Amino acid sequence: MDPYILKKDFPILDDKTLIYLDTAASSLKPKQVINKLEEYYEKYSTNVHRGVYNLSYVATEMYEQSRRKACEFINADFDEIVFTRGASSALNIVASSYGLNNLTSDDEIIVSELEHHSQVLPWQNVSNITKAKLVYVPLNKEGRITIENFKKVLNNKTKVVALNYVSNVMGYVTPIKEIIKLSHNVGAIVCVDAAQAAPHKKIDVKDIDCDFLAFSGHKMLGPTGIGVLFGKKELLKEMPPIEFGGDMNDNVNLYDATWKDSPYKFEAGTPPIAGAIGLGAAMDYINDIGIENIAIHEKKLKDYTVSKLLEIEDVVIYNKDAETGIISFNINSVHPHDAVTFFDGDNICMRAGHHCAQLIIKWLKVVATLRVSFYLYNTIEDCDRFIESVKNARDFFKSAGF
């Protein structure tokens, strides 16, 4: 893959001075995806599963074609793919439908301090309501989830294991396949937050044998407002819907009703049709390049940048050995929000804050961190300009008296 050619697909990068290093928050969108959204709105912007006329048939066909693409993308079956608003809403369906209906005060839920709020908070809520015990995997000194530590918290009471595939702050890859195997041995189900994995890593739900898995479109070149929930069909079949309304129902009577089969049972109301179709285009785009090639490219940029940052005095890196393209760091005695204003002045977009993962920020014992994240449109020149800007920022704040 050639990032210099790929860059040309991203209209925002027509601004040659812009350096976008915040893909972990949301990726940029290529014109192939934008054009697909336009195609829907201009040519067949009708509802799905309802209209008995040709245009609605076209829209339905395009929407369901995207579902088939999502199946192929993670090696799932057609009725195991639910379209949602994003990874957050997907994880909430699992917690509210599976969690609230299957857990009791005798049960335990395993999470970690490495989770994004969208994974930990829905299960915290389930724990508060059902009185199931929320248990945290102790992180190792690098901040990783290890098999050894996971075994310390796993037991016969464990009913749900809810962990990330790739951390959005530390960029670590969780040994999820082994965790799933161990969890199944004690009869627990595993819900995987793959929001940070799907854009960067080949996912095979059959190979890892996860029970649920969630990801978002907008972090992987797709539109906002669309995400995917994978669930094993036998689990989805038993789960009640949590949203009720149009399209999800089968037979409606005065005082009761029946539901469609999964996935439609979980897709109440008019779904994000354009978003789903755009996500299909994003998956095509990634497949054309090859996700393994993207991962190699990001890792190369991340390793190069880490090696240069390590040479700069006053820079602290929290995850230098991460396997993916995320670097969390700080400049000594400079609040990340002060620093990020400097980078903004150099037209570098990056994140400062707690990255919707306050627990790991507290674990690191810092107020917040700076974070850069790389993707297929970043180049070695982006890294060099960023590194130069870090040096200048450090010098600027030192001379200002920080």
Partner 1 sequence: MNDLELLYRQVIMEHYKNPRNKGLLDDPTYKAVRIKNPSCGDDITVQTKVENGVIKDIRYDGTGCSICCSSASVMSETLIGKLKEDAMTITETYLNMLTNKEFDTNVDLEEAIVYRGVNKFPARIKCASIAWKAFEGTIEESE
Nearer to partner 1, 308 or 335 (CB): 335
Nearer to partner 1, 52 or 401 (CB): 401
Q: Is residue 29 a contact point for partner 1 (CB under 8 A)? A: no
Stretch that binds partner 1, among 190-198, 223-231, 281-289, 346-354 (CB under 8 A): 346-354
Minimum separation from the CB atom of position 377 to partner 1 (A)? 23
Would you say the C-alpha torsion 50, 54, 56, 58 has a positive or negative sign?
positive
d(CA 166, CA 175): 9
List CB contacts of 62: < 8 A, sequence separation 6 or more. Answer: 40, 44, 277, 280
CA-derived radius of gyration, the chain: 22
Number of other residues whose CB lies within 10 A of the CB of residue 21: 27
With CB under 8 A as the contact rule, the residue among 240, 296, 337, 381 that binds partner 1 is 337
Q: Is residue 353 a contact point for partner 1 (CB under 8 A)? A: yes
d(CA 114, CA 163): 8
With CB under 8 A as the contact rule, the residue among 232, 354, 371, 394 that binds partner 1 is 354
With CB under 8 A as the contact rule, the residue among 45, 156, 332, 341 that binds partner 1 is 341
With CB under 8 A as the contact rule, the residue among 160, 336, 387, 389 that binds partner 1 is 336
Question: Encoding tokens for residue 219?
Answer: 């972090």
Half-sphere exposure of 140 (CA within 13 A, CB side): 12
Nearer to partner 1, 85 or 398 (CB): 398
Question: Encoding tokens for residue 276?
Answer: 């789903």
Minimum separation from the CB atom of position 151 to partner 1 (A)? 34
Stretch that binds partner 1, among 25-33, 153-161, 268-276, 352-360 (CB under 8 A): 352-360
Nearer to partner 1, 25 or 268 (CB): 25
With CB under 8 A as the contact rule, the residue among 338, 385, 391, 398 that binds partner 1 is 338
Minimum separation from the CB atom of position 314 to partner 1 (A)? 16
C-beta separation of 165 from 192 below 8 A: yes
Tell me if residue 383 is catalytic.
Answer: no
Chain positions 364 to 383 lying near partner 1, rule: CB under 8 A, are 367-368
Q: Is residue 344 a contact point for partner 1 (CB under 8 A)? A: yes
With CB under 8 A as the contact rule, the residue among 215, 230, 342, 374 that binds partner 1 is 342
Number of other residues whose CB lies within 10 A of the CB of residue 51: 14
What is the size of the binding site for partner 1 (CB under 8 A)?
20
Q: Is residue 335 a contact point for partner 1 (CB under 8 A)? A: yes
Nearer to partner 1, 58 or 356 (CB): 356
Nearer to partner 1, 293 or 341 (CB): 341
Nearer to partner 1, 379 or 392 (CB): 392
Bond into 263 cis (ω within 30): yes
Minimum separation from the CB atom of position 399 to partner 1 (A)? 9
Which one of the listed residues 71, 210, 349, 356 is annotated catalytic?
356
Q: Would you tell me which residues interact with partner 1 (CB under 8 A)?
A: 335-338, 340-342, 344-345, 352-354, 361, 367-368, 396-397, 400-402
Catalytic positions, written as ranges: 356
